[in-house]
Amino acid sequence: MPAKNPDTHRNIAGQRNPKDTMAKLFWSDNERFAAVFNNTFSFITPISPDDLVEMDSNEFCTIEVKNGSSVKLQQPQDILKAVKSNGVMLAILGLEDMSQVDYLLPYRIWSYTFINVSRQIQTIRRRHLREQEAERQKQKENKDVSEGSIKRNHLEILNGFYREDRIIPVVQLIVYTGKEKWDAKVKLEDLFIQNDYTKYMGSFEIYVLDVRHMTPEALKKYPKELQELFGFLMYENTNKLYDFVHDKSLGFDNLPVEIFDFILEITDSSMLKKIRKMKRTPEGGINVCYGIEVYAQKRVDDAKKEYEKHLQNKDKMLQDKDKMLQDKDRMLQNKDRMLQDKDKAIADMERRTFVTTAQSFGIDLADVVRKYAEQFRVSLQKARYDVKRYWVPAC
């Protein structure tokens, strides 16, 4: 008989690398956590920060398989909190902070919910097992069993889940801060092939808060510090950022370091990196308004210097161009002279050949002069001068 396998621990749903702690620290604050849920969803009774209780985000559940062995499934989340009122747990809220589009996200969030619900069912089963054991113990001790005891059918006892048992609802919110608009599916059934069967699968939908692509009206629903975070991301790299940062109703003139660093973590902005090094406000915050003005002025000054350098380079280039044109003109002049010298040499050779050829045929000097003048269309005086110059004296 094969030995029982020890519990196996498995991560599911393509677990990503652990998130940076900055996002977890930011959203762990109950005030922010309640605010983002209250203003994203339409709860009849808003969540009170005082009713939020931190839960272990490294949830797991144990699934029994054949041969008595079990598999432990785990899928860590960013933030997980319970809503408790008067000692009663009303809901479990999960928050996932994301900066990239995840096309498998409906399945991942469904897996979070599956693990949480499975853990709740296991808790209910363990409670019923303790109750059943206590009842059996009373019977052994011949103690009266409560007359109000409810009779359970076989499957209720076998499953450990009674007719009146209920599971605490699990609500998941994805805060997406990526630059690209969210274009992934939000319903689990949309990941499947769409045909006549798909519509009977049931529905599981995720809720994505696409921070950078919300409307200005939606932004105003959130409290001030979330407006500062979300708004900066919305207007980053646009001409509206300056006016948004200088909005007097916000606090960018004394932005808390925690919010500033979270914005910097998300944007990796070179401007914010420079502002981060500037002097703090008396309250210990960061004056983003002043920092942007200083940064903008420096950009203007740098651009001015660069433009002046460009003009100097342009003047030098023009001077070099003028010099090149002058050199070209000289080269053309030299070329013209060379061509003229070549033409002159060819003409001189042609005339010399005419004279020496006539002389070799024994033609009289006077006749050569006359024919030379006719051939080259020059005066007799010029012909007489040239012929004498080319005439080879007799030995």
Tell me the β-bridge partners of 37.
none
What pLDDT is recorded for position 7?
A: 40
DSSP designation for 45: S
DSSP designation for 226: H
Tokens of 87: 């000692």
Q: At 51, is the secondary structure helix, strand, or coil?
A: helix
pTM of the full structure: 0.69
Q: How far apart are CA 323 and CA 346, in angstroms?
A: 34
What pLDDT is recorded for position 312?
A: 86
- C-alpha triplet 352, 358, 362: angle, nearest 5°: 140
Cβ atoms of residues 321 and 354 within 8 Å: no
Domain ranges in the chain are 1-142+155-213, 322-390
Residue 368 Cα distances to 347, 358, 360, 379, 394, angstroms: 17, 7, 11, 13, 16
At 354, phi and psi to the nearest 5?
-60, -45
Helices (H), 88-199: 105-140, 154-159
What pLDDT is recorded for position 12?
A: 46
- 263, burial (CB in 10 Å: exposed 0-12, middle 13-18, buried 19+): buried
What pLDDT is recorded for position 13?
A: 46
pLDDT in 10s for each residue of the chain, 395 residues: 444 444 444 444 444 443 457 888 899 999 999 999 999 999 999 999 999 999 887 665 566 556 666 666 666 778 999 999 988 999 999 999 999 999 999 999 998 898 889 889 989 999 998 988 888 888 777 665 555 566 788 888 888 889 999 999 999 999 999 999 999 999 999 999 999 998 888 889 999 999 999 999 999 999 999 999 999 999 998 889 999 999 989 999 999 999 999 999 999 988 999 999 988 999 999 999 999 988 888 778 778 888 888 888 888 898 889 899 999 999 999 999 999 989 899 989 999 899 889 888 888 888 889 998 998 899 999 899 988 888 888 65
What pLDDT is recorded for position 206?
A: 94
DSSP H or E stretch at residue 292: helix 288-360
Tokens of 20: 């940076």
Cβ atoms of residues 93 and 83 within 8 Å: yes
Selection from 166, 136, 133, 162 nearest residue 150 by Cα: 162
What pLDDT is recorded for position 66?
A: 61
